[in-house]
Structure 1
Amino acid sequence: MNAMTDTPLDTDPLRDSALYFNRELSQLDFNFRVLAQAQDAQVPLLERLKYLCISCTNLDEFFEIRAGTMRHAQDLGLAPGPDGLAPATVLSRIHDRAAELVKSQYECWNDVLRPALSDAGVRVLGRNSWNARQTRWLRAYFRDEIMPVLSPLGLDPAHPFPKILNKSLNIVVVLKGKDAFGRAGNLAIVRAPRSLPRIIQLPENVSGGKHDFVFLSSVLSTFVDELFPGMEVKGAYQFRVTRNSELLVDEEEVDNIALALRDELIGRGYLRAVRLEIAEQCPKPIVRTLLENFDLPENAVYRINGPVNLNRVIQVYDLVQRPELKFPAYQQRVLPGVDSMFDTVADGDVLLHHPFDAFSPVLELIRQAAEDPHVLAIKQTLYRAGKDSPIVEQLVQAARNGKDVTVVVELRARFDEEANLGLADRLQEAGVQVVYGVVGYKTHAKMLLIVRREGRKLRRYVHLGTGNYHSGTARAYTDFGLITADPDIGNDVHLIFQQLSGLAPSLKLKCLLQSPFTLHAGVLKRIDRETKHARAGKPARIVAKMNALNEPQVIRALYQASQAGVQIELIVRGACTLRPGVEGISDNIRVRSIVGRFLEHHRVYWFANDGTPDLFCSSADWLERNLLRRVETGFPILDHDLRARVYDEALSNYLADNLSAWELQASGQYLRVVPEEGAMPHSAQATLLAKLCG
Structure 2
Amino acid sequence: MRGDPPPRKPLQAQAGGLDVPRRHMGQNARMRDQTSPVAADVELSAPELFFSRELAALEFNFRVLAMARDATVPLLERLRYLSIVASNLDEFFEVRVAMLKHHHAYGSAAPGPDGLLSGELLSRIRSRVLDLVALQYATWQEQLSPQLDAARIHILTRQQWEPRQRRWLQGYFEHEVLPVLSPLGLDPSHPFPRILNKTLNIAVVLKGRDAFGHEGHMALVRAPRSLPRIIRLPDEVCGEGDNFVFLAELLQAFVDLMFPGFKVVGSYQFRVTRNSELMVEEAEIENLALALSEELLGRGYARPVRLEVADDCPKSITAMLTRNFQLEEADVYRCDGPVNIIRAGMIYEWVDRPELKFPHFVSQLPPALEASHNKFELIAQHDVLLHHPYQSFGAVVDLLRQASVDPQVLAIKQTLYRAGEDTPLVDLLVEAARHGKDVTVVIELRARFDEAANIHLATRLQEAGVQVVYGVVGYKTHAKMLLIVRREGDVLRRYAHLSTGNYHQGNSRVYTDIGLMTANPEIGEDLHKVFQQLSGLGPVIELKRLLHSPFTLYPGVVAKIARETEHARAGRPARIVAKLNALNDARVIAALYRASQAGVEIDLIVRGACTLRPGLPGISERIRVRSIVGRFLEHSRVYWFANDGDPELYCASADWMERNLMRRIEIAFPILDPDLAARVFEETLANGLADNTQAWLLQSDGHYVRAEPGDDPPYSAQRALLQRFCA
TM-score range, shorter chain: over 0.9
Match of 2:182 in 1: 151
SS in 2 for 1:109: helix
Over residues 393-444 of structure 1, what are the superposed CA-to-partner deviations in whole Å (9 max), with x where a residue is unaligned?
0000111111000000000000000000000000000010000000000000
SS in 2 for 1:185: strand
Match of 1:280 in 2: 311
In structure 1, which of residues 484, 500, 517 is the aligned counterpart of residue 551 of structure 2?
517
CA distance in 1 between counterparts of 2:168 and 2:121 reads 48
Equivalent residues in 2 for 1:523-534 (5 A)?
A: 523-534=557-568
Alignment partner of 1:439 is 2:473? yes
SS in 2 for 1:80: coil
Alignment partner of 1:498 is 2:542? no
CA distance in 2 between counterparts of 1:141 and 1:111 reads 30
Match of 2:424 in 1: 390
Tell which deviates more after alignment, 632-641 or 179-188: 179-188
The letter of the residue matching 1:230 is G
CA distance in 2 between counterparts of 1:669 and 1:426 reads 47
Match of 1:228 in 2: 259
In structure 2, which of residues 308, 324, 329 is the aligned counterpart of residue 298 of structure 1?
329
CA distance in 2 between counterparts of 1:248 and 1:488 reads 39
Equivalent residues in 2 for 1:73-472 (5 A)?
A: 73-77=103-107, 78-335=109-366, 336-472=370-506
CA distance in 2 between counterparts of 1:686 and 1:469 reads 24
Over residues 173-224 of structure 1, what are the superposed CA-to-partner deviations in whole Å (9 max), with x where a residue is unaligned?
0011101111110111100010111111111110113301110000001101
CA distance in 1 between counterparts of 2:607 and 2:198 reads 26
Over residues 285-323 of structure 1, what are the superposed CA-to-partner deviations in whole Å (9 max), with x where a residue is unaligned?
111111111111111100111100001011111111011
In structure 2, which of residues 692, 714, 717 is the aligned counterpart of residue 681 of structure 1?
714
The letter of the residue matching 2:715 is H
Q: Which runs of structure 1 show a deviation greater than 2 angstroms over 4 or more consecutive aligned residues? A: 335-338
Please report the TM-score for the alignment, with normalisation by the length of structure 1.
0.98
Structure 2: stretches of 5+ with no match in the other structure: 1-40
Tell which deviates more after alignment, 408-417 or 72-81: 72-81
In structure 2, which of residues 43, 48, 63 is the aligned counterpart of residue 18 of structure 1?
48
Between the aligned residues of both structures, percent identity stands at 63
Tell which deviates more after alignment, 653-662 or 293-302: 293-302
Asked whether the equivalents of residues 154 and 241 of structure 2 are also in contact (C-alpha less than 8 Å), the reply is no
Return the structure number with greater relative CO, CA threshold 8 A, min gap 6.
2
Asked whether the equivalents of residues 203 and 210 of structure 1 are also in contact (C-alpha less than 8 Å), the reply is no
The letter of the residue matching 1:488 is E
Task: Give 1:140 shift.
Answer: 1.0
In structure 1, which of residues 459, 466, 474 is the aligned counterpart of residue 508 of structure 2?
474
The letter of the residue matching 1:165 is L
Asked whether the equivalents of residues 397 and 424 of structure 2 are also in contact (C-alpha less than 8 Å), the reply is yes
In structure 1, which of residues 573, 592, 595 is the aligned counterpart of residue 629 of structure 2?
595
CA distance in 2 between counterparts of 1:182 and 1:379 reads 68
SS in 1 for 2:371: coil
Task: Give 1:79 shift.
Answer: 1.6
Over residues 51-82 of structure 1, what are the superposed CA-to-partner deviations in whole Å (9 max), with x where a residue is unaligned?
11111111111111111111112123222111
The letter of the residue matching 1:607 is F
Alignment partner of 1:635 is 2:669? yes
CA distance in 2 between counterparts of 1:541 and 1:12 reads 23
CA distance in 1 between counterparts of 2:46 and 2:138 reads 38
SS in 2 for 1:270: coil
CA distance in 1 between counterparts of 2:689 and 2:623 reads 13
SS in 2 for 1:182: coil
CA distance in 2 between counterparts of 1:685 and 1:105 reads 25
SS in 1 for 2:209: coil
Asked whether the equivalents of residues 405 and 435 of structure 2 are also in contact (C-alpha less than 8 Å), the reply is yes
Task: Give 1:388 shift.
Answer: 3.5
Over the aligned positions, Cα root-mean-square deviation in angstroms equals: 0.8
The letter of the residue matching 2:261 is G
In structure 2, which of residues 595, 604, 610 is the aligned counterpart of residue 576 of structure 1?
610
Asked whether the equivalents of residues 369 and 450 of structure 1 are also in contact (C-alpha less than 8 Å), the reply is yes
Match of 2:33 in 1: none
The letter of the residue matching 2:574 is A
CA distance in 2 between counterparts of 1:210 and 1:388 reads 31
Task: Give 1:337 shift.
Answer: 2.5
Alignment partner of 1:612 is 2:646? yes
CA distance in 1 between counterparts of 2:156 and 2:124 reads 35
Tell which deviates more after alignment, 332-341 or 373-382: 332-341
CA distance in 1 between counterparts of 2:110 and 2:531 reads 37
Task: Give 1:12 shift.
Answer: 6.4
Task: Give 1:91 shift.
Answer: 1.0
Give the total of aligned pairs: 683
CA distance in 2 between counterparts of 1:337 and 1:287 reads 64
Asked whether the equivalents of residues 422 and 505 of structure 2 are also in contact (C-alpha less than 8 Å), the reply is no
Structure 1: stretches of 5+ with no match in the other structure: 1-10
Asked whether the equivalents of residues 186 and 218 of structure 2 are also in contact (C-alpha less than 8 Å), the reply is yes
Asked whether the equivalents of residues 68 and 79 of structure 2 are also in contact (C-alpha less than 8 Å), the reply is yes
Match of 1:668 in 2: 702
CA distance in 2 between counterparts of 1:279 and 1:24 reads 26
CA distance in 2 between counterparts of 1:494 and 1:385 reads 22
CA distance in 2 between counterparts of 1:574 and 1:600 reads 9
The letter of the residue matching 1:565 is G
The letter of the residue matching 1:133 is R
The letter of the residue matching 1:97 is R
The letter of the residue matching 1:491 is E
Match of 1:49 in 2: 79
Task: Give 1:381 shift.
Answer: 0.2
The letter of the residue matching 2:216 is G
Please report the TM-score for the alignment, with normalisation by the length of structure 2.
0.93
CA distance in 1 between counterparts of 2:160 and 2:625 reads 47
The letter of the residue matching 1:450 is I
Over residues 307-347 of structure 1, what are the superposed CA-to-partner deviations in whole Å (9 max), with x where a residue is unaligned?
00001011111111011001011121113222111011011
